[in-house]
Amino acid sequence: MSDTPTSGRFEARDHLLPVRVYYEDTDFTGVVYHANYVRYFERGRSDFLRAIGIGHAQLLEDAAPMAFVLAEMRLTFLKPARIDDALTVRTRYDAVKGPRLLISQVIERDGEALCRADVTAVCIHLDGRPRRPTKALVEAVTPWLLGAA
Protein backbone atom coordinates (compact mmCIF):
# COMPACT_ATOMS: atom_id res chain seq x y z
CA MET A 1 0.00 0.00 0.00
CA SER A 2 1.21 3.49 -0.82
CA ASP A 3 0.57 6.87 0.75
CA THR A 4 0.80 8.50 -2.69
CA PRO A 5 -2.59 9.42 -4.20
CA THR A 6 -3.34 7.54 -7.39
CA SER A 7 -3.42 9.34 -10.72
CA GLY A 8 -5.37 6.46 -12.24
CA ARG A 9 -4.35 4.26 -15.15
CA PHE A 10 -4.77 3.94 -18.90
CA GLU A 11 -6.87 1.42 -20.78
CA ALA A 12 -6.22 1.94 -24.51
CA ARG A 13 -6.96 5.70 -25.08
CA ASP A 14 -9.02 6.05 -21.91
CA HIS A 15 -7.69 7.27 -18.59
CA LEU A 16 -9.50 5.65 -15.66
CA LEU A 17 -9.57 7.36 -12.28
CA PRO A 18 -11.20 5.66 -9.29
CA VAL A 19 -13.34 7.95 -7.12
CA ARG A 20 -15.26 7.11 -3.94
CA VAL A 21 -18.53 8.86 -3.09
CA TYR A 22 -18.36 10.36 0.39
CA TYR A 23 -21.10 11.80 2.58
CA GLU A 24 -19.99 15.33 1.65
CA ASP A 25 -20.68 14.55 -2.03
CA THR A 26 -24.35 13.75 -1.51
CA ASP A 27 -27.62 15.52 -0.92
CA PHE A 28 -29.91 14.68 1.99
CA THR A 29 -31.12 11.49 0.22
CA GLY A 30 -27.63 10.00 -0.17
CA VAL A 31 -27.54 10.68 -3.93
CA VAL A 32 -24.56 12.53 -5.42
CA TYR A 33 -25.41 16.22 -5.74
CA HIS A 34 -25.37 17.16 -9.44
CA ALA A 35 -22.57 19.75 -9.17
CA ASN A 36 -20.19 17.15 -7.77
CA TYR A 37 -20.11 15.29 -11.08
CA VAL A 38 -18.34 18.38 -12.47
CA ARG A 39 -15.72 18.03 -9.71
CA TYR A 40 -15.18 14.33 -10.53
CA PHE A 41 -14.77 15.19 -14.21
CA GLU A 42 -12.22 17.90 -13.35
CA ARG A 43 -10.18 15.37 -11.38
CA GLY A 44 -10.27 13.01 -14.35
CA ARG A 45 -9.01 15.65 -16.81
CA SER A 46 -6.29 16.85 -14.42
CA ASP A 47 -5.07 13.37 -13.55
CA PHE A 48 -5.02 12.38 -17.23
CA LEU A 49 -2.59 15.23 -17.85
CA ARG A 50 -0.61 14.44 -14.69
CA ALA A 51 -0.29 10.79 -15.80
CA ILE A 52 1.22 11.84 -19.15
CA GLY A 53 3.70 14.15 -17.44
CA ILE A 54 1.90 17.51 -17.66
CA GLY A 55 1.05 19.10 -14.32
CA HIS A 56 -0.87 22.34 -13.85
CA ALA A 57 1.96 23.80 -11.74
CA GLN A 58 4.40 23.00 -14.56
CA LEU A 59 2.22 24.91 -17.05
CA LEU A 60 2.27 27.96 -14.76
CA GLU A 61 6.06 27.82 -14.36
CA ASP A 62 6.74 27.68 -18.12
CA ALA A 63 8.48 30.64 -19.80
CA ALA A 64 5.10 31.48 -21.35
CA PRO A 65 2.70 30.36 -18.59
CA MET A 66 -0.72 29.01 -19.51
CA ALA A 67 -3.86 27.71 -17.88
CA PHE A 68 -7.21 26.24 -18.94
CA VAL A 69 -10.77 27.50 -18.90
CA LEU A 70 -13.86 25.61 -19.94
CA ALA A 71 -15.72 27.05 -22.91
CA GLU A 72 -18.36 24.32 -22.96
CA MET A 73 -19.42 21.36 -20.86
CA ARG A 74 -22.48 19.36 -21.84
CA LEU A 75 -23.62 16.90 -19.17
CA THR A 76 -26.04 14.03 -19.60
CA PHE A 77 -27.24 12.48 -16.34
CA LEU A 78 -28.25 8.84 -16.84
CA LYS A 79 -28.46 7.25 -13.38
CA PRO A 80 -27.68 8.45 -9.86
CA ALA A 81 -24.51 7.67 -7.96
CA ARG A 82 -24.98 7.08 -4.24
CA ILE A 83 -23.06 7.35 -1.01
CA ASP A 84 -20.18 4.83 -0.71
CA ASP A 85 -20.25 3.98 -4.45
CA ALA A 86 -16.91 3.22 -6.07
CA LEU A 87 -16.93 5.14 -9.34
CA THR A 88 -14.59 5.34 -12.30
CA VAL A 89 -14.05 8.59 -14.18
CA ARG A 90 -13.21 7.65 -17.77
CA THR A 91 -11.50 10.48 -19.68
CA ARG A 92 -10.59 10.57 -23.35
CA TYR A 93 -8.80 13.52 -24.99
CA ASP A 94 -10.19 13.51 -28.54
CA ALA A 95 -8.59 16.43 -30.38
CA VAL A 96 -6.54 19.61 -30.17
CA LYS A 97 -7.93 22.35 -32.42
CA GLY A 98 -6.08 25.63 -32.11
CA PRO A 99 -6.39 26.66 -28.45
CA ARG A 100 -9.18 24.11 -27.80
CA LEU A 101 -8.95 20.63 -26.30
CA LEU A 102 -11.97 18.41 -27.02
CA ILE A 103 -12.56 15.86 -24.27
CA SER A 104 -15.10 13.06 -23.72
CA GLN A 105 -15.78 11.80 -20.21
CA VAL A 106 -18.00 9.22 -18.52
CA ILE A 107 -18.56 8.43 -14.86
CA GLU A 108 -19.24 4.73 -14.39
CA ARG A 109 -20.22 2.36 -11.62
CA ASP A 110 -19.31 -1.27 -12.33
CA GLY A 111 -18.98 -0.47 -16.04
CA GLU A 112 -22.41 1.19 -16.25
CA ALA A 113 -22.49 4.84 -17.42
CA LEU A 114 -24.05 7.21 -14.86
CA CYS A 115 -23.12 10.59 -16.35
CA ARG A 116 -21.50 11.72 -19.61
CA ALA A 117 -19.67 14.96 -20.37
CA ASP A 118 -18.54 16.52 -23.61
CA VAL A 119 -15.99 19.19 -22.75
CA THR A 120 -14.24 21.96 -24.63
CA ALA A 121 -11.29 23.31 -22.66
CA VAL A 122 -9.43 26.37 -23.94
CA CYS A 123 -5.77 27.16 -23.32
CA ILE A 124 -5.28 30.73 -22.18
CA HIS A 125 -2.56 33.22 -21.30
CA LEU A 126 -2.76 34.27 -17.65
CA ASP A 127 -4.53 37.47 -18.72
CA GLY A 128 -7.38 35.35 -20.12
CA ARG A 129 -6.61 35.60 -23.85
CA PRO A 130 -6.76 32.31 -25.80
CA ARG A 131 -3.47 30.79 -26.87
CA ARG A 132 -2.22 27.63 -28.49
CA PRO A 133 -1.13 24.89 -26.08
CA THR A 134 2.55 24.49 -25.31
CA LYS A 135 4.64 22.23 -27.54
CA ALA A 136 5.20 19.91 -24.56
CA LEU A 137 1.44 19.59 -23.99
CA VAL A 138 0.72 18.85 -27.65
CA GLU A 139 3.53 16.29 -27.84
CA ALA A 140 2.39 14.58 -24.64
CA VAL A 141 -1.31 14.38 -25.55
CA THR A 142 -0.95 13.54 -29.29
CA PRO A 143 -0.50 9.76 -28.83
CA TRP A 144 -3.84 9.66 -26.95
CA LEU A 145 -5.92 11.56 -29.49
CA LEU A 146 -8.62 10.08 -31.70
CA GLY A 147 -6.99 8.72 -34.85
CA ALA A 148 -3.50 8.53 -33.32
CA ALA A 149 -1.51 5.51 -34.42
C-alpha closest to that of 117 among 103, 138, 97: 103
Going by their DSSP bridges, the two strands 112-124 and 14-20 should be labelled as: unpaired
5 vs 34: CA distance, rounded Å: 25
In the annotation, is 27 catalytic? yes
Annotated catalytic residue, options 3, 14, 25, 27: 27
Residue 72 pairs in a beta bridge with 120
Q: What is the DSSP string of 78-147?
A: -S--BTT-EEEEEEEEEEEETTEEEEEEEEEETTEEEEEEEEEEEEE-TTS-B-PPPHHHHHHHGGGSTT
C-alpha closest to that of 20 among 103, 101, 109, 92: 109
Active-site residues, by number, are 27
